[in-house]
A and B are shown apart, each in its own frame.
Chain A
Amino acid sequence: MIRKKICLLGAFSVGKTSLVQRLVHSIFSERYQTTVGVRIEKKTLMLDGNDVSLVIWDLQGEDEFQKLRESYLRGSSGALLVADGTRPHTVDIAILLRDRLRDVCGNVPAELLINKADLTDEWAVDPRAVAALDGADSEPIVTSAKTGAGVEGAFESLARRILGGGA
């Protein structure tokens, strides 16, 4: 079976852990429990008839209290860069983190996720504007760990790109 390490990167409280919990255990909790260090989970996805086993590194949020250790990124085949759609500056952090990912891992696939899509009232990020500003190769994926919308798709899309199967 093909096994790949992927990382979740992003500012604190954007929903990295929640996305993994949604994908792996199909659960969601409103309660915030910040991740210290790294949390590792595994999930097997069926992609076009093949099993792909993802080793998911859910990394601690980036802020002034905790900095990303670049050595954590080593050996990553790809990453999900997560931002919070209600906190625009988290998009900037996600983009900065992508540069650091590229420094360590080269040009591995990375999907930009804008999470918390269910919070329409507080939504403050325009995905199209982000795509334009970012000049990325793909549009950001809007997700909600709470409703599950877009979550599996985001991981699958990353897995496909890792396997070279196109977008």
Chain B
Amino acid sequence: MGALPGFLEEYAMSIAVRRRSPAYVLLGPDARVVEAGGELARYGLRDLAVGDDVTARADFLAGMLPASDETIELPALTVGEGQHADVHIGVADGTTFVLLFDATARVMRQSALQQKGNDLDLLRGRTVRAAGPLPADHLVDAANVNLRRVAVVRVHLILVGEDEDEPVLDSTRVVETRRAQRLVREELRRQAGLTLETGAAEACAAFGLLSTTGVPERQAIDAARAVLAIVGLIPGVAACIGVASGAVAASEPTSDAVPIVIGPPFDHALRLALLVGPGCVLADDETVTHTQGLERDFVGWTGSQTGPGPLFVRRGNPPRHGELAGVLSALGVVLLEVRQDGILFPTGVVPDWADALLEWEGRASGGLRPADELSFLANFLVDAAEFWDRGEVGFQRSGIWTELDEGGENQAFEALALVGSGGERLLALDFLSEAYTERQELLQQARETRLSFEALQAEIQKKDVLLHCIVHDLKAPLSSIVGALSLLNTRELAPDKVASLLEIGLRQAQRQEDLIRQVLDVFAAEIRELESFESDPRRAPDLSQCLRDAVDSYRPAYQDADVELTLDATEGEMRVVGVADRLERAIANLLENALRYSPAGTRTEVAVENEDGHVRVTISDRGPGVDPEVAEKLFDRFVRGSAGGSSGLGLYYCRITLRSWGGSVGYEPRPGGGSVFWLRLVRAL
């Protein structure tokens, strides 16, 4: 290949100068500017003056100078905010030069493509995961254990001193506790196969706290039971509350003295333990956040100085609910006693937040009622009454509900129906915060996973059907080819018959090729959507020419099928925004589609109309037309139940291609029967 002839080289140069905005800098020794010119401003070198040190102005040159004899090229260098350049550095005629070409458009395009590629990768990753073990392992198991497979076991050993007034935690107690821990741990290993981690040393000493995480719920419950079974053997340990958080609430007193409460959240379980338990409670900072009031209401000893949190011990009778109310209100729970007539009497102070839920019954009675007869609480009281009437031990939960407070914030509540030690009907109202958030987040996660799984499943299904349709499309011409070839194989054919069979075979083969191209086009077009197109009228495609070419190439196929094909009003150029070969392809797809549905002996007309700033191409056939229901979805990527199981990719191709040029495609019924498919293109002006 020879050099370009002078006049062409000049032309090529002029293009390069116009499109690539070159700039140059010539440098003397020590990187001082000798001369500079071109579109320097574009590269952030606006007022580069002779004598300037260029490396101080252009960071990208740092370390690149002095230049070697061999020119180096640095493609797609970032030279400023959103500005990219191809930079050439070299020496010519003893002078060091730096030559810059604009590369911004190219880099942007590349990065958009890369982004799209990354998105695809991510999607692929998700598909693999979704098709893999996700539903079985994650969703189903999670469902079985109500949100979370793993539970946290916390075992609190409650130590009771010999003498009521004597501090429980003395050195002998610490030893006892350690011993108890060891016993518990060994027992757990033996019975439930669990290895428990103890908490921080002091915490263990003070509270006999043992905890382990990540245990299946069933095992957590077993573990709590195992602890209970041996607690009685340990000197000084009177009671134990085992809490397996994350599991379903269940209250199962295994003996009079030793209740077990299993349920989330810990605060809640603790409160229940207070209500049904033997009156010994142990709390630490981690689990009980509001402790003022506890000290007042519990006689006994508090050890907040030595341990990480206070320890409350109480012996003797179970607390009466009147005393409990104080504790509960400190914990943020309102305890109300419910009289026969449904009026609620607070057993302690009613906090502000309860105002939204309760209203005064009247000065005389001093009682309260749910604030609204249609409210959640009023509704729950009906269930609660049934529960109380049954006279069972235990409690009934209302389930969580939320209401807007005065500040417009959503607040979550839960109510609990209980029976007091004297048979009182009690209603505990709880204001939830963290517990609610935690549950909300877990649920949200599970559901989002499920949603993306469903979406991917739907996508995979669609693809399967699409594949089926593509195969179906490809098979039709193949049968004609096989038919033609088998006929040719029989002898004694007249020469003109042979020629026509060959013609048919060839044409069907071409048709098949077209279909394959269509499939490939679609996949390519989805990625190409962001690519540029021509809108400069001098280079924009000529619609008239595209129409003529497409019609010419389809003429033989139409003749075969005995369908007339006419082209109207295409004299003269008509420049439109787009890319010529893809525009021709879109037109061809519509011609292919019309042919598919045109009965023999009918006519298909191609026409062009000018609209304000646009051009409209119509292709009208006299086929059966399109069912309005299908019509809405004709241009979708895959039309469920589309005629003959056809993939309909051709129409989808038209849509995405035209859309990327600011145009559109559509369908309307033809007056008098048949279909009109149209393309609307923007004129290149």
The 6 nearest A-B residue pairs measured at CB:
A37-B400, A64-B143, A38-B401, A55-B374, A5-B374, A39-B402
Known: A39-B403, A63-B450. 18 other contacts (CB 8 A): A5-B374, A36-B436, A36-B440, A36-B443, A37-B399, A40-B375, A40-B376, A55-B375, A57-B376, A63-B447, A65-B143, A65-B443, A65-B446, A65-B447, A71-B380, A72-B379, A75-B379, A126-B629
**Bitwise interface map of A from 59 to 79 toward B, beta carbon under 8 Å scored 1, else 0:** 001011110010110110000
Name the CB-closest residue of A to B147. A65
* Chain A residues whose CB sits within 8 angstroms of the CB of B399 once the complex forms: 37-38, 69, 72
Q: Shortest Cβ distance from B599 into chain A, in angstroms?
A: 29
Q: Are B444 and A33 in contact (CB under 8 A)?
A: yes
* Chain B residues whose CB sits within 8 angstroms of the CB of A126 once the complex forms: 629
Q: Shortest Cβ distance from B143 into chain A, in angstroms?
A: 4
* Chain B residues whose CB sits within 8 angstroms of the CB of A5 once the complex forms: 374
Q: Are B451 and A71 in contact (CB under 8 A)?
A: no
Show 30 A/B contacts (Cβ-Cβ < 8 Å), sorted by A: A5-B374, A12-B447, A13-B451, A32-B444, A33-B444, A34-B444, A34-B447, A36-B400, A36-B402, A36-B436, A36-B440, A37-B399, A37-B401, A37-B414, A38-B399, A38-B401, A39-B401, A39-B402, A39-B410, A40-B375, A40-B402, A41-B404, A57-B376, A63-B447, A64-B139, A65-B146, A65-B147, A74-B379, A75-B379, A121-B636
B569 adjacent to chain A (CB < 8 Å): no
A43 adjacent to chain B (CB < 8 Å): no
- Interface residues of chain B, those whose CB is within 8 Å of chain A, are 139, 142-143, 146-147, 372, 374-376, 379-380, 382-383, 399-404, 410, 412, 414, 436, 439-440, 443-444, 446-448, 450-451, 454, 458, 629, 636
Given known contacts A64-B143, A72-B379, A126-B629, is B447 in contact with A37 (CB within 8 Å)? no
Q: Are B412 and A40 in contact (CB under 8 A)?
A: no
**Bitwise interface map of A from 24 to 55 toward B, beta carbon under 8 Å scored 1, else 0:** 00000000111111111100000000000001
* Chain A residues whose CB sits within 8 angstroms of the CB of B436 once the complex forms: 36
In whole angstroms, how far apart are the Cα atoms of A13 and B453 in the complex? 14
- Looking at chain A's contact residues, the main secondary structure is loop
* Chain B residues whose CB sits within 8 angstroms of the CB of A66 once the complex forms: 443
In whole angstroms, how far apart are the Cα atoms of A61 and B501 in the complex? 64
- Looking at chain B's contact residues, the main secondary structure is helix
* Chain B residues whose CB sits within 8 angstroms of the CB of A40 once the complex forms: 375-376, 401-403
Q: Which residues 1-35 of A have a CB within 8 angstroms of B?
A: 3, 5, 12-13, 32-35
Count of CB-CB pairs between chains A and B under 8 Å: 77
Q: Shortest Cβ distance from A52 into chain B, in angstroms?
A: 13
Give the A interface residue count (CB, 8 A). Answer: 30
Q: Are A65 and B142 in contact (CB under 8 A)?
A: yes
A102 adjacent to chain B (CB < 8 Å): no
Q: Are A34 and B383 in contact (CB under 8 A)?
A: no
* Chain A residues whose CB sits within 8 angstroms of the CB of B379 once the complex forms: 71-72, 74-75
In whole angstroms, how far apart are the Cα atoms of A73 and B334 in the complex? 26
* Chain B residues whose CB sits within 8 angstroms of the CB of A72 once the complex forms: 379, 399
Name the CB-closest residue of B to A123. B633
Q: Are B143 and A34 in contact (CB under 8 A)?
A: no
In whole angstroms, how far apart are the Cα atoms of A8 and B446 in the complex? 22
Residue in A38, A63, A124 whose beta carbon sits within 8 Å of that of B376 in the complex: A38
* Chain A residues whose CB sits within 8 angstroms of the CB of B447 once the complex forms: 12-13, 32, 34, 61, 63, 65
* Chain B residues whose CB sits within 8 angstroms of the CB of A39 once the complex forms: 401-403, 410
* Chain A residues whose CB sits within 8 angstroms of the CB of B146 once the complex forms: 65
Name the CB-closest residue of A to B143. A64
Name the CB-closest residue of B to A6. B374
Q: Shortest Cβ distance from A20 into chain B, in angstroms?
A: 11
Name the CB-closest residue of B to A39. B402
* Chain B residues whose CB sits within 8 angstroms of the CB of A34 once the complex forms: 440, 443-444, 447
In whole angstroms, how far apart are the Cα atoms of A34 and B447 in the complex? 8
Give the residue among A33, A57, A66, A69 with the most B Cβ atoms within 10 A.
A66
Name the CB-closest residue of A to B400. A37
* Chain B residues whose CB sits within 8 angstroms of the CB of A33 once the complex forms: 440, 444
* Chain A residues whose CB sits within 8 angstroms of the CB of B382 once the complex forms: 71, 74
Q: Shortest Cβ distance from A123 into chain B, in angstroms?
A: 8
Q: Are A71 and B383 in contact (CB under 8 A)?
A: yes
Name the CB-closest residue of B to A55. B374
* Chain A residues whose CB sits within 8 angstroms of the CB of B403 once the complex forms: 39-40
In whole angstroms, how far apart are the Cα atoms of A39 and B401 in the complex? 6
Name the CB-closest residue of B to A41. B404
Q: Shortest Cβ distance from B124 into chain A, in angstroms?
A: 20
Give the residue among A13, A34, A37 with the most B Cβ atoms within 10 A.
A37
In whole angstroms, how far apart are the Cα atoms of A121 and B143 in the complex? 32
Name the CB-closest residue of A to B399. A37
* Chain A residues whose CB sits within 8 angstroms of the CB of B147 once the complex forms: 65
Name the CB-closest residue of A to B444. A34
In whole angstroms, how far apart are the Cα atoms of A65 and B443 in the complex? 7
